[in-house]
Chains A and B, each alone.
Chain A
């Protein structure tokens, strides 16, 4: 169900601007990895490079290699849509499809995959919503618009939509930054639960969150504006937050940075 991600010397560009500079890291299956660092240091760019969402933007490109269980996802023969089905993504702001009901939102990915049978869709919707800790709140109003839910519920709906297609890896780009503390806690609980099934990589600005949920933490930083982001340190979360090797990491997590 979960797969290992290996990045080696990944550099991503927007046109001629180099956003991240030769990032290498290995993410083990069924773990939560947190990426932290100041704004503009390339965490999100790196995350979006993992499921090839980076290249959606005009003139964006990438160098280096990214593999998922030893398959190169940037192989020219690889179908990019298959990569994105394998590596799901949850975005910073909840983005349910505004014209769809709660139910339709959850099964949107399955329908794209050609699943038509009502009973299969119904099952998947229920399972995914249960897995996203949302079922009890919405089971009586599945045909209501997804955008009518609260922000935290919408984000859990988006998580349900992402995991409904049974990906191997779930990427989360600051999934709680638009949410209140209670909704944030609900999502963090959810992450622990999902860890049994998926490899999770999360970008967060909230260091307590990184410390609470993740097994490993990567610290990104830039020297100055305009420079590419680099991975300064990548280690067990325990180690990063108690005894980091790099001075920069220590400065950042203790708040003596920027």
Chain B
């Protein structure tokens, strides 16, 4: 009680009573003597709520910002669908299963199968290569490296994320292609009994080259997000593990990784999002061939986004519609991937929420 200055001082100075409401919050201990003073607010009713204030203005702004997301999503979907329908109607082949792409002929024939296949396969290869490396780097930076090393190294990795994708594409085509080609020849020589490494050649601008370039592009995103998540592991959980006699790695296994799992999944999904949507790097490194083959080292491969970039220029009305339809498929693929990720994260929500 006595800790608070008496309110009566304010009241007798004739304060008109528009003081911010929180200064009169309950429990601030109005001393008994103040009951004798005129009531706060000059004796009238309680102050009225303002009809317009920062509060309602800010609420309006944030509601508008939230609604904007929905509007944009719906607008994109409407745009894609309305442009795609005429082209799909003119298609003489099955859009989902046909592998070739001849939308500009008088009898348009095009299908998404090979493109979607290439998109997914390059992305999967990229993730298979990038995720373990990223997690290794992230754990090294967050739990092994001394601070003097972790800071510059983390900065370098963030820098890698800032390299434009066209630079990766050019580098992949002009520099990285040769070593990948040599590696492909070697794989083909010793492992051709595995179908993905089979074939007669020529090698080079292959699914593997595209996938590896994508892996390098995905790596910084996954690394820096995972690192962030790993660093947020509560120190008291790490200490609990150590105090039970865990080694550093055991501590990471029982405290850091489980805690970071939802974040890591989100990071991987963001990486996958980048890989699926990547355009120019794949247009420069893939063979741009319309076929479905699990052989990842022979020249070949194509992706939805790369195909849009390379064929949009010479497309006619139907051709553009066809490309937009392929964009719609890409949109659907990313949507499914994202929903799957949400489902995985949601499954163990009970454990995560109660931890907060």
Residues of A within 8 A of B (CB): 51, 53, 56, 58, 81-85, 88-89, 91, 93, 95-101, 108-109, 112-113, 145, 147-148, 158, 161-162, 165
Q: In this complex, what residue of B is CB-closest to A171?
A: B243
- Contact residue among B234, B250, B258, B352 (Cβ-Cβ distance under 8 Å from A112): B250
Q: Are A97 and B258 in contact (CB under 8 A)?
A: yes
Does chain A have a CB within 8 A of B4?
A: no
Tell me the B209-244 residues at the A interface (CB within 8 Å): 234, 236-237, 239-244
Q: Are A85 and B351 in contact (CB under 8 A)?
A: no
Q: In this complex, what residue of B is CB-closest to A96?
A: B240
Q: Are B245 and A85 in contact (CB under 8 A)?
A: yes
Inter-chain CA distance A48–B116, complex, in Å, is 58
Inter-chain CA distance A97–B260, complex, in Å, is 12
Q: Are A99 and B240 in contact (CB under 8 A)?
A: no
Contacts A93-B236, A97-B254; is A85 near B354 (CB within 8 Å)?
no
Contacts of B243 in A (CB 8 A): 51, 53, 84, 88-89, 91, 162
How many B residues face the partner with a CB closer than 8 A? 25
What's the least CB distance linking B254 to chain A, in Å?
6
Contacts A91-B240, A95-B240, A97-B240; is A84 near B351 (CB within 8 Å)?
no
Which 10 pairs from chain A and chain B are nearest by CB? A98-B355, A85-B245, A99-B258, A109-B244, A89-B243, A95-B236, A84-B245, A147-B354, A81-B245, A148-B354
Does chain A have a CB within 8 A of B348?
A: yes
Does chain A have a CB within 8 A of B168?
A: no
Does chain A have a CB within 8 A of B274?
A: no
Does chain A have a CB within 8 A of B246?
A: yes
Q: Are A97 and B239 in contact (CB under 8 A)?
A: no
Contacts of B241 in A (CB 8 A): 97, 108
Inter-chain CA distance A84–B250, complex, in Å, is 14
Inter-chain CA distance A88–B258, complex, in Å, is 23
- Could you list some 14 contacts between A and B, CB below 8 A? A51-B243, A82-B245, A84-B243, A89-B243, A95-B234, A95-B236, A95-B237, A97-B254, A97-B255, A97-B258, A108-B241, A109-B244, A113-B245, A147-B354
- Contact residue among A85, A93, A99, A145 (Cβ-Cβ distance under 8 Å from B244): A85
What's the least CB distance linking B230 to chain A, in Å?
14
Q: Are B355 and A147 in contact (CB under 8 A)?
A: yes
Inter-chain CA distance A81–B243, complex, in Å, is 8
What's the least CB distance linking A231 to chain B, in Å?
23
What's the least CB distance linking A56 to chain B, in Å?
6
Inter-chain CA distance A93–B239, complex, in Å, is 11
Having A89-B243, A97-B240, A147-B355, one finds 4 other A-B pairs with CB under 8 Å, namely: A84-B245, A85-B244, A98-B234, A98-B259
Contacts of A108 in B (CB 8 A): 241, 244, 254
